[in-house]
Amino acid sequence: MVLKKKIIRFATKFQERDLEKSFQLDYCIPVYHSVSDVDLAHLKHVVNYKNVQDFEKDLDEMSRFFQFVTWEEFKDFHAGTFKAEKKIALLTFDDGLSEFYFNAVPVLLRKGIYAINFINPKFVDNKELMFRAKASLILEKIIATNSRNPEIFKLLDISDFAEKTLKQKILKIPFEKQKILDQIADLAEVDLEEYVKTQKPYMNLEQLKSLNRQGFGISNHGWDHPLYKDLTLKEQIENTQKGAEFLKENQFLTDGFAFPFTDFGVGNSFFDQIFQHEYDCTFGTAGIKLDSVTKNFQRIPMENGKSASQTLKEEVAYFNLKKMINRNQIVRK
């Protein structure tokens, strides 16, 4: 991984300065989760979110090279019925976090930029924390209090309580074993219910409806944010459709779907079924990459501690390197 990053950084030096020309696709789909100027315990260890100033700089940089479009314009562009002045960009957010409402939207309104937020209905109204958010919150509490509860050692099956080991173990707890996180939270004296009640990490239904009235998009990220490759095909469809039911009930967008985490390992059978319904397109997070499923578009993760222009230049360089060995397209089975 270190060697890969060094090669990409080296190749980036030879990229054209004009990203509009060097960017190989006719569309760019950046993805964010949160924008905040303060520490967020439930995200601190799982999302390298940007502050408001850096987020605004990203938008300004991308605006130089791309034309931001709405959801309808994005679909029309790929249907060949919308003509853009430049290559287009669809701004996306995931998880329905409250900082989108309070911090990102004021910037977007001022700049006249549309965004679509893919949400998990299970967490709307702050009924519960997503399991990765639980892991981050628990980890932050243990580190802050320097907890040494031996029962936590047993649950994690570790003898080394070094911060690095602890972080690796807690953050690797998967969706299907998330009850372990509830047990660790109790042992670490982390009140998860009180946290969501007081901190309100997610948007509530009225906030989502307000965004919808203001012209922003609200769409499907699955019901409760599982890793889709670890689900059976039946579970994948059920999780997706359960999320869609909430969206339809509240008159949000029901023709798009963004995979929680990643679409890696998801086969053609899922797409064959999903596109029989009202879905127009789906989204992964593999960066600048083509997909054998032509209605599945890959997004570019932007929360990496780098500026938008640097991120995009590195993505272009990596795409060019993979092109040399015919590895810049995802082929599904």
pLDDT at 4: 60
Helix extents (H) in the chain: 2-12, 19-22, 52-65, 71-79, 98-99, 105-111, 131-145, 150-156, 163-171, 179-187, 192-199, 205-213, 233-249, 268-274, 308-324
Bridge-based pairing state of the strands 290-291 and 281-284: unpaired
Q: What is the pLDDT of residue 120?
A: 98
Are residues 41 and 137 in contact, defined by beta-carbon separation less than 8 angstroms?
Answer: yes
Q: Which two tokens stand for residue 294?
A: 């032509």
> How far apart (Å, rounded) are the C-alpha atoms in residues 83 and 85?
7
320 SS3 class: helix
User: Could you tell me where in the chain the CATH 3.20.20.370 domains are found?
Assistant: 2-126+204-330
Q: How far, in Å, CA of 323 to CA of 207, rounded?
A: 43
Distance CA 5, CA 321 (A): 12
Q: 5 CB contacts (<8 Å, ≥6 apart)?
A: none
pLDDT digits (tens, 9 = 90+) for 119-151: 999 999 999 999 999 999 999 999 999 887 889
pLDDT digits (tens, 9 = 90+) for 16-47: 566 778 899 999 999 999 999 999 999 999 99
Q: Sign (positive/negative) of CA torsion 200, 201, 206, 211? A: positive
Give helix 163-171 / helix 131-145 axis angle, nearest 10°. Answer: 160
What is the structure's pLDDT at 253? 98
| pTM of the model as a whole | 0.94
CATH of 2-126+204-330, one of 3.20.20.370, 3.40.50.2300, 3.40.50.1820, 3.30.360.10: 3.20.20.370
For 238, the enclosing helix (H) or strand (E) is helix 233-249
Sequence letter at residue 48: N
Q: What is the pLDDT of residues 40-86, one digit of tens each?
A: 999 999 999 999 999 999 999 999 999 999 999 999 999 999 999 99
Angle (CA) 192 193 194, round 5°: 90
State the pLDDT confidence band at 163, using cuts at 50, 70 and 90: confident
Residue 23: C-alpha distances to residues 17, 139, 314 (Å): 10, 39, 11
- DSSP letter assigned to residue 147: -
Q: Is the pLDDT of residue 319 over 60?
A: yes
pLDDT of residue 14 exceeding 70 = no
Given a contact cutoff of 8 angstroms between Cβ atoms, the answer to whether 49 and 104 are in contact is: no
Question: What is the C-alpha separation between 143 and 153, in angstroms, rounded?
Answer: 14
Structure tokens at 179: 């009850």
User: Torsion-angle region of residue 54: left (phi > 0), alpha (psi -120 to 50) or beta?
Assistant: alpha
Token representation of residue 135: 């892991």
First and final C-alpha spacing in the chain:
26
Please give the pLDDT value at position 147. 80
Amino acid 301 reads P
